[in-house]
Amino acid sequence: MQRAGLGWRSRRFGGGLWRSRWPAATGDSSSLPCPRALSAASPSTGCRARGGGAPPAGASNVKPLDGVKILDLTRVLAGPFATMNLGDLGAEVIKVERPGAGDDTRAWGPPFAGTESIYFLSVNRNKKSIAINMKDSKGAKLIRELAAVSDVFVENYLPGKLAEMGLGYEDIKKIAPHIVYCSISGYGQTGPMVQRGGYDSIAAAVSGLMHITGHEDGEPVRPGVAMTDLATGLYAYGAIMAGLLQRYKTGKGLHIDCNLLSSQVACLTHVAANYLNCKTEAKRWGTAHGSIVPYQAFKTKDGYIVVGAGNDQQFVTVCKILNLHEVSKDSRYKTNALRVQNRRELIDILSTRFLEKPTIEWLQLFEGSGIPYGPINNIQQVFSDPQVLHNGLVMEMNHPTAGRIAVPGPGVRYSEFALSHPTPPPLVGQHTVEILKGMLGYEDDAIEELLSTGAVAQHEVR
């Protein structure tokens, strides 16, 4: 099952993206062919890639990762979120799961749709599931064979764990030198914390995110969704795309080290820079901002509204809308630096005024003003919001056991192809036989032996 040579892909395995015998980059890109799936190429399919919107009428719906095969050994959130986004762009994602239980999140609930965890359903569309017992030598052998015919290998095991099974990067590199191998962990592949398990809340605490999240005088707070996991998933998603481009240029695969701690520390941005450059220790600000005033939530007569004034002219406009003309002329509030210095007095004045009207009235007054503003919506209000509806952020699918399901889709649109017709999240081992036959060329008797010994499992959809 090995490739015949570095940077080459047999047509038997589907033609795939980034793998023909192309010259390494020399600075003259005119000699390089268009990086797209060979199996989907046509004379009318150009080399353009532009963002935004639905594809124009008559446009080809070739996706950028058509033909790319991703072997996905990740579980829970960061890894599955990354591979789901790759699947949205056309990649064939092969999700490896434990026979029986599968991904840990399959048991996370309630809520459930029938017997399916909503949590699992939310981050596993556009994937095929193969159930493999990796502790069985035959199962580990299957992973190696699948890696040899895949473009990308993604895993989130404790560092060193897969190497013990002969499935670490150095092991896979020997049989698949083209592989883009992405390891997602809690703290990195080396270092003093390497053997600690990676959990969102722990990484959010260690990275400082919880220290800066919560009410000004309150306790540290965990964000409402697992932002550290999601940020890591997005970093991994981008890094894998970069890895594919790097292989396109060099003909070689590579190892990517992506971890929760590094991802979250990198996302501290200006808060981290404040400390690194000024030794200013960060604090919690609730909904407010440490360097911009006003920029926070205000309680109204019946809810909340968030309003920001990013410059002095916007502050004058806010005061005009609130009918606080004298405040805009007050020397204590003339510049943002002065407003930050006199934050407490100013916020008290604004807060008192916002309490006088219901949220809808304030929204109407701010409409068209050029001031950034918006209500604090509950989730029902989010999915009733006209802009959310217009942006088409809900994907609906028919699941084999849960029935009709809906999940939030990707937050990006492209002009030349549509992110439409997603496949529903798979059942555990739903595609085992299909993958063994289609990707590895196994015959029925060999598959039956694997099934009978428990090396693999097939879920029968009724």
Catalytic residue among 72, 88, 151, 229: 229
- In 37-124, alpha helices (H): 78-88, 118-122
pLDDT at 219 over 50: yes
Confidence of residue 284 (pLDDT cuts 50, 70, 90): very high
Is 445 marked active-site? no
Q: Which residues pair with 154 in a beta bridge?
A: 72, 182
Answer for the pair 228, 205: CB distance below 8 angstroms, yes or no: no
Confidence of residue 59 (pLDDT cuts 50, 70, 90): low
Answer for the pair 70, 103: CB distance below 8 angstroms, yes or no: no
pLDDT at 369 over 60: yes
Edge-first strand order for the sheet with 152-155 is 254-259, 180-185, 152-155, 69-73, 92-97, 127-132, 456-457
Per residue in 8-56, pLDDT (tens digit) is 333 333 334 444 333 333 333 333 333 333 233 333 333 333 233 445 5
Mean pLDDT of 55-66: 73
Write down the pLDDT at residue 460: 78
d(CA 350, CA 61): 51
d(CA 258, CA 78): 10
- Please name the residue that has the structure tokens 């109407």: 364
d(CA 4, CA 175): 10
Secondary structure of residue 276 in the 3-state scheme: helix
Per residue in 228-266, pLDDT (tens digit) is 999 999 999 999 999 999 999 999 999 999 999 999 999
More confident residue, 34 or 423: 423
Per residue in 106-165, pLDDT (tens digit) is 999 999 999 999 999 999 999 999 999 999 999 999 999 999 999 999 999 999 999 999
Answer for the pair 39, 67: CB distance below 8 angstroms, yes or no: yes
d(CA 321, CA 364): 10
d(CA 378, CA 81): 23
Q: What global pTM score does this model have?
A: 0.85
